[in-house]
Chains A and B, each alone.
Chain A
Amino acid sequence: AQKITQTQPGMFVQEKEAVTLDCTYDTSDQSYGLFWYKQPSSGEMIFLIYQGSYDEQNATEGRYSLNFQKARKSANLVISASQLGDSAMYFCAMREGDNYGQNFVFGPGTRLSVLP
């Protein structure tokens, strides 16, 4: 079974509007971490935001916020006030337990296109 599901292969948003990218995950671990990365066409994977399984508050980093619903096992990324430079591939990822390597898994990604 897939550990990370991103059901939106592609999304469009108008510049200056907010957009939500969906991510659901599957784990039996009590301790895990959820991450969002942005990958522009240049290829670099850019870390955006992190949410720990024990964090009670939703994570925020500038225009990025993570809507964490633990019981539903969802960790949606919200981008406020979209900019043209936000057009990229977005990956949700999960670290199970405290280790990386094989315990760090990526979802299939969502391609976001911001329209002027």
Chain B
Amino acid sequence: DTEVTQTPKHLVMGMTNKKSLKCEQHMGHRAMYWYKQKAKKPPELMFVYSYEKLSINESVPSRFSPECPNSSLLNLHLHALQPEDSALYLCASSHPMGENYGYTFGSGTRLTVV
């Protein structure tokens, strides 16, 4: 299995809603990442989990809450989002270091906050 699976593919939520994005991989990668990507821009790093522990939080607002329940799963819990949070949210995984294929990305969740 060489895939990163993200669900849902599309999500529309109101500013008072609580929702979660899910990411799953079975490649044995021990580093997992959340990226946010606005239209026509490169992905921006949000969070890094290494060996199921949060190692990097790029000053992301607390309305985004990541969780890594096990080595295969990564969640992003969303609460009280703003319209400017509408974006493509990409999950990726990799070996923590040294492997030559960079990241394996999921197909992303297109989030619209209304």
Known: A43-B88, A91-B42, A109-B42. A100 touches B94 (CB 8 A): yes
Q: Which of A45, A50, A102 contacts B48 (CB 8 A)?
A: A102
Chain B residues touching A, range? 20 to 34
CA distance A111 to B40 in the complex (A): 9
Taking the nearest CB of chain B, how far is it from the CB of A59, in angstroms?
10
Stretch at the interface among B17-25, B61-69, B105-113: B105-113
Whether the Cβ atoms of B107 and A101 lie closer than 8 Å is no
Chain B residues, CB < 8 A from A106? 42-43
Interface residues of A (CB under 8 A from B): 33, 35, 37, 42-47, 50, 52, 89, 91, 93, 95, 98-102, 104, 106-109, 111
30 interchain pairs (CB within 8 A)? A35-B102, A37-B105, A43-B107, A43-B108, A44-B105, A44-B106, A44-B107, A44-B108, A45-B90, A45-B103, A46-B105, A47-B101, A47-B103, A47-B105, A50-B101, A52-B100, A89-B40, A98-B97, A98-B98, A99-B96, A100-B31, A100-B33, A100-B48, A100-B96, A100-B102, A101-B56, A106-B42, A106-B43, A109-B40, A111-B40
